Structure 1
Amino acid sequence: MIKSQITLKQLEAFVGVVDLGSFRKAASVLGTTQPNISNRISTLEETLGVILLHRDAGSVRQTEKGEALLAIAHQILWNAEAFLEAAERQDLVDDRLRLGVTELIACTWLHRFLRRFREVYPSVSVELEVGLTGEIEKKLATGQIDLALQTGSFDREAGRTIHLRTYPYIWVAAPALAQANGTNRSMVNLLKGPVLTHGRNTVASKELARYAEAKRLAMNQVVYSSSLASSVQMTVDGMGFALLPAALVRDQLQSRSLVQIDIEWLPSPLEFYARFNPKRVPRFVEVAAGFAAEIANSGN
């Protein structure tokens, strides 16, 4: 029996340094100091009688033995969480979830997701980052976040991808603006005045640009915003027609501060996914992705 010669903290330190690429980053994620991380790995190496990591100036490399043991270390940590889960003691999991989400999720069902996660994992803190899907995907690939709730398509592999929900776009406007423009609404007429939408590099904006180019329509009246919330408010204020995800303006449509406009063209719906690398994250990240799928499909 190994008794207490090898600890989970030592294995966490070893896995953290390899996955994140430095002692400093591992210390930050594990909520301790760099000397503590170094000491845990040195003690583990001494106990095993092997060198796991080469510590070069400014870099860390696995030894051949370290590479062979890494997958097993991951599995041990995964099974330790599974043990607590089987015992229904997820409250004993003391860790952090680094979560990256897009603004649409932040404005719709994120709070319900966070409440659900906190109910099951009360001792796991959440570090939240709201940003554009490209930024989130980059941070997922470099190990800066554990779970990405983002739109497709993808430029980088993640390891595991779970489809969450499809969000269609609609055209909306303030009631006064819609009434002033009457019933003669078409893309030709729409693009003659201000059109509000989100990021220039989003899939919807790129599709709008291709459509306008094919129809030889001017795009000089399109107003792009990196903030969906700002786009909604500007639309409510009557600054123009807007192309936005329907889920984002559900409350405004119900209160009649916005009305839906029937136009002959719409972009492809947004497809949302939960993405994570199961080889680099704790077990609870997969559980969290399952919560996201459950809540995303339960309504707005």
Structure 2
Amino acid sequence: MDLKAVRTFVTVVDAGQFQEASAVLGITQQAVSKRIAALEKDLGVRLFTRTARGAQPTIDGQAFLPHARELLLAEERALASVRPGRRALRVDVIGAKLAPAALLRSFHEAQPDTALDVVTLFDAGSAVAAVGAGTIDATFRAVTTRLPEGLRAARVLDEPIQLLTGPRHPLAGARSVTPEQLAGHRIWMPGIVDGTEWAAYYTALAAEFGLTIDSVGPDFGTEPLLDTVAASASLATFVGEQTRLVWPAGHDLRRIPLVDPTPVYPHSLVWAAANTHPGLAALRAHLTARIPARPASRTWTPAWAVRGVFPVRRT
């Protein structure tokens, strides 16, 4: 199998558009299309559906994706075996538009000579297992349970959670709201998956403040979620303060801070204590240097949040 074509496929999935994938890969959009067409011919299936918003993987594309990522990881391990000391630092982030990716981008800007291989695994369980197995060097995750022997974690960011509403929502005009004020309002988060760290976080948040967080319905991605919230007079959702969102001007969505207390999502860096990759040491030093001062306002995070570099507690 042509691994260049496989890498192109994964890049298009992550970028969401052929044009953005071409920029990431440093090739023309026509070359991207040719690689995808050749891969589809080899596999005998269609991998993408073109939409107004870009390229969406078909059901066959979704089935192929995890195996494609494994092929690329296997390729990287093979290459690393013959170039000791030159391997890129492989770091997992939960999503390209979420706060951990921003942390990693800031490190890359500060240390552009450190080669990075950014991957996106599904949940903390998979990511922590990959750190333990040595298939990745580190992961940014909320750590809900005790880590396996030999792994370390440090809290590197407590990210405030915000309420996102459309213009017709009863709270749309508020400058801020307290978690208690959300009782009785329907918070819709179809991306919550049982057993994940973010499900554990929002379950604890709902229990603490008597909230109704609804995950019913298929998760079609960020854009359909924003469309639904923008048009609704009753639905709202939660987003991280640093989550990068773009929506049409007509949506008039509102990001409303939560206060008294401010729920914060505890992002930690997880790595293996025996890992001597110089890039890992540089990443840890960079994150330690940029940790902000303890927030002045009251904050809340679940009791299971791992005590890390700067523990933040409800006060």
**TM-score after normalising by structure 2:** 0.50
For structure 2, the residue ranges without an aligned partner over 5 or more in a row are: 1-72, 294-315
Instruction: Return closer, same or farther for 1:295/1:231 CA change in 2, 3 Å cut-off.
Output: farther
- 1:230-258 deviations in whole A, cap 9, x for unaligned? 58634663352012222226888xx9943
Give 2:94's aligned amino acid.
Answer: T
SS in 2 for 1:199: coil
Give CA deviations for 1:187-242 in whole Å, capped at 9, x if unaligned: 44303xx6236424423321245358xx5x766x4457879845863466335201
Of the three residues 222, 236, 247, the one matched with 1:241 is: 236
Match of 2:129 among 130, 138, 152: 138
Paired residue for 1:276?
271
Instruction: Identify which of 198, 203, 206 aligns with 1:206.
Output: 203
Larger radius of gyration: 1
Q: What is the root-mean-square deviation in Å for CA atoms of aligned residues?
A: 4.6
1:259 aligned residue (254, 263, 286) = 254
Q: Using a 3 Å threshold, how does the CA distance of structure 1 residues 170 and 26 change in structure 2: closer, same or farther? A: closer
Q: Which residue of 2 aligns with 1:168?
A: 160
Contact kept? 2:229, 2:236, Cα under 8 Å: no
Q: Could you tell me which amino acid in structure 2 is paired with residue 132 of structure 1?
A: D
Which aligned pairs between 1:181-192 and structure 2 lie closer than 5 A?
186-191=181-186
User: Is structure 2 residue 105 aligned with structure 1 residue 111?
Assistant: yes
TM-aligned CA distance change 1:116 to 1:264, over 3 Å: closer
- Contact persistence 1:186–1:263 (CA under 8 A): no
Q: Note if 1:29 corresponds to 2:77.
A: yes
Q: Is the Cα contact below 8 Å between 2:92 and 2:139 reproduced in 1? A: yes
Contact 2:151/2:272 (8 A) holds in 1: yes
The AA in structure 1 aligned to 2:110 is: R
Whether 1:156 and 2:147 are equivalent positions in the alignment is: yes
Match of 2:64 in 1: none
1:144-195 deviation line (CA, Å, top 9, x unaligned): 211112222344235332321111222221223346899999444303xx62
Task: Report if aligned partners of 1:102, 1:130 keep a CA contact under 8 Å in 2.
Answer: yes
- 1:38-82 residue CA offsets vs partner (Å, 9 max, x unmatched): xxxxxxxxxxxxxxxxxxxxxxxxxxxxxxxxxxxxxxx9xxxxx
Q: Secondary structure at the match of 1:131?
A: coil
Looking at structure 2, the residues matched to 228 and 270 of structure 1 have their Cα atoms a distance apart, in angstroms, of 21
Residues 28 and 107 from structure 1, CA distance in 2 versus in 1: closer, same or farther, beyond 3 angstroms? closer
2: CA distance, partners of 1:156 / 1:259: 38
The amino acid that maps onto 2:131 is L
Aligned equivalents of 1:32 and 1:288: distance in 2? 20
1:100-143, Cα deviation, whole Å (9 max, x unpaired)? 112223564433333333x232xx35242353333212211222
Change (3 A) 1:266 1:232: farther
Partner amino acid, structure 1, of 2:167 = P
Deviation at 1:288, TM superposition (A): 1.8
1:163/1:293 contact within 8 Å kept: no
Deviations 1:8-29 (A, max 9, x none): xxxxxxxxxxxxxxxxx99952
Aligned partners of 1:177 and 1:238 also within 8 Å:
no
8 Å CA contact 1:159–1:276 kept in 2: the answer is yes
Q: CA 1:204–1:162 in structure 2 vs 1: closer, same or farther (change >3 Å)?
A: closer
Distance 2:263 2:203 in 1: 11
Q: Where do residues 9-48 of structure 1 align in structure 2 (5 Å cutoff)?
A: 28-29=76-77, 31=79
Letter of the 1:164 counterpart: V
Tell whether the 8 Å contact from 2:165 to 2:171 is kept in structure 1 after alignment: no
Provide the C-alpha distance between the structure 2 equivalents of 1:162 and 1:172, rounded to a whole number of angstroms: 29
Size of the alignment, in residue pairs? 208
Runs (5+) with no aligned partner, structure 1: 1-24, 38-76, 78-92
User: Retained in 2: the 8 A contact 1:204–1:268?
Assistant: no
Are residues 128 and 293 of structure 1, via their aligned partners in 2, closer, same or farther at CA, if it must alter by over 3 Å? farther
Q: Which residue of 1 aligns with 2:119?
A: 128
Amino acid corresponding to residue 172 of structure 1 in structure 2 = L
**Structure 1: which amino acid aligns with 2:127?**
I
Query: Distance between the aligned counterparts of 1:281 and 1:262, measured in 2?
Result: 40
